[in-house]
Amino acid sequence: MKRVLAGGSLALALAVALGLGAPALPACSTERDAGSPARSVTRLTDPADADASEPIGQDLLVALAQAKNFHHKAKVYMTDGNLPAATAAVRQILSLAFPRGAPEADDVRNDARALLAKLLISQGQLDEAARTVAEGLAQSQRESFFVANLYTVQGEIHEARATALDASDPGKSAASGERHAAIESYDHSIQINERLQKKLMEER
Amino acid sequence: MATQDDDTLTGSVPDPEAEPTPAELAHARRFAELVDKTLAGRTPPAMSADDRALLEVATVIRAARGQLELAPARQRAVVEDALRQAIGAEPSPGGSVTPIARAPARRWAPWVVAGASTLVAAAALLVLWLRPAEPPGAPIGRATVPAEWTSRSADALIGPIARDRAGDASARIDAIFADRLDGFRARRLARRGAP
């Protein structure tokens, strides 16, 4: 009988403790303030959030270091006059694996595309250069100074086409169209730069 | 007046081949019932001396054949006496069933558990109620860290790219790598220096 009573008292104790603790469970998943919106703990990270909260990790540094080495390698080839080898070295930057959602990845790739396009221009491969720039603009998730730089290089490509058209058939309207396209590209670049500079000034 | 039942042990021994008399059969049935009652723990308080002697013999024979089990109360008493001796206490006098007294700690243990659990639950409620509210929109599970330690756009670091420097990507990647390496080292050093 005493054992039954002891077991019963223990069960009663646990029931009291659980009864007091039960109201705390909903508080773990909801906001206490009624004014603040309730947020799900399973909410996925938005790419915009990653811009300001993902700590720098070793994987990001490794990717940046590899990009840096390929750029230096390309620079040596350019100094040596070996533009195809320099182009190949820069292309390898585009296939580097960056941490998912790292904003630096877009910047580094766009910068590599700009250099790649300039190398292709200098080798007379204007269509390939234009394709390289167009791919970079299409894949960009946000405006940046690197995107603006891509528009600048796009303008240079249009200028190079206009020059080539002038040389092959002077006075043709196609060259004029390329020049207009170049101006549009430069305007895009200028507008992006202005917006970003204004934004940075406001943040400071 | 002596009866036939009374001289069962002292009377003449009947011939083994002789048929049992009705009196003998009746005595056998009565004695069988007496044995059954005894094995069931319902021994009659009064019986004849011969029956008592026969009953003791029957009990000894049954115990000798290994079919005798101790009553549960007696078993508990034996075990508790053994436990008492194991912990150095005196065995219970008389061998009667005397349950070991429950320690005071065991008596109070359920209430101690109940009190502690209640206090923990109340403390959890207070912590949940008094904690500062997080700003709306803040990512869950992320600590606030300096911007220099985080992965972010390189716009603020590089600034607008002049047209004559459009192909100078090598210098820009050097600047980005150096800046992020500084942030990474600062974060690592801060974590090591944290208490």
| pLDDT classification of B136: cutoffs 50, 70, 90 | low
pLDDT of amino acid B72: 82
Q: Do A36 and B136 touch (CB under 8 A)?
A: yes
A134 is written with which tokens?
Answer: 């167009």
- Extract the residue ranges of chain A whose pLDDT is less than 70: 1-53, 170-171
Q: Do B180 and A104 touch (CB under 8 A)?
A: yes
* A99-120 pLDDT tens trace: 998 999 999 999 999 999 999 9
Q: How many pairs of residues across A and B have Cβ atoms under 8 Å apart?
A: 182
Q: Do A13 and B142 touch (CB under 8 A)?
A: no
Nearest-angstrom CA–CA distance, A102 and A90: 20
* B97-111 pLDDT tens trace: 455 555 566 678 888
pLDDT of amino acid A94: 95
Matching residue, tokens 């403390």: B123
* B21-49 pLDDT tens trace: 877 888 888 888 888 888 787 787 777 78
* B62-103 pLDDT tens trace: 777 766 667 788 888 888 888 887 777 766 665 554 555 555
**Do A35 and B155 meet the contact criterion of CB atoms below 8 Å apart?**
no
Beta bridge partners of B150: A55
Q: Do B140 and A23 touch (CB under 8 A)?
A: no
What's the Cα-to-Cα distance from B136 to each of A38, A43, A164, B102, B140, rounded to whole Å?
A: 9, 14, 57, 56, 10
Chain A, nearest residue to B141 by Cα? A41
Read off the pLDDT of each residue in B109-138 and give the average, rounded to a whole number.
Answer: 82
pTM assigned to the model = 0.53
CA distance to partner chain A, nearest, from residue B193 (Å): 17
CA distance to partner chain B, nearest, from residue A164 (Å): 21
Residue predicted with more confidence, A26 or B130: B130
| pLDDT classification of B175: cutoffs 50, 70, 90 | very high
Residues of B in contact with A14 (CB under 8 A): 113-114, 117
Closest Cβ opposite residue A56 in set B134, B151, B160: B151
Query: Cα B112 from chain centroid?
Result: 18
pLDDT of amino acid A128: 96
Residues of A in contact with B181 (CB under 8 A): 61
Q: From the candidates B100, B112, B117, B151, which should be mutated to test the interface with A, based on the most A CB atoms within 10 A?
A: B151
pLDDT of amino acid B33: 85
pLDDT of amino acid A50: 43
- At A144 the three-state DSSP class reads coil
Nearest one of A138, A162, A87, A141 to A117, comparing CA atoms: A87
Q: Do B150 and A37 touch (CB under 8 A)?
A: no
| pLDDT classification of B190: cutoffs 50, 70, 90 | confident
Nearest-angstrom CA–CA distance, B57 and B38: 12
Composition of chain A by helix, strand, coil, percent to 5: 75, 0, 25
Q: From the candidates B161, B163, B176, which should be mutated to test the interface with A, based on the most A CB atoms within 10 A?
A: B161
Q: Do A24 and B131 touch (CB under 8 A)?
A: no
Residues of B in contact with A51 (CB under 8 A): 151-153
pLDDT of amino acid B191: 76
Residues of A in contact with B183 (CB under 8 A): 56
pLDDT of amino acid A25: 44
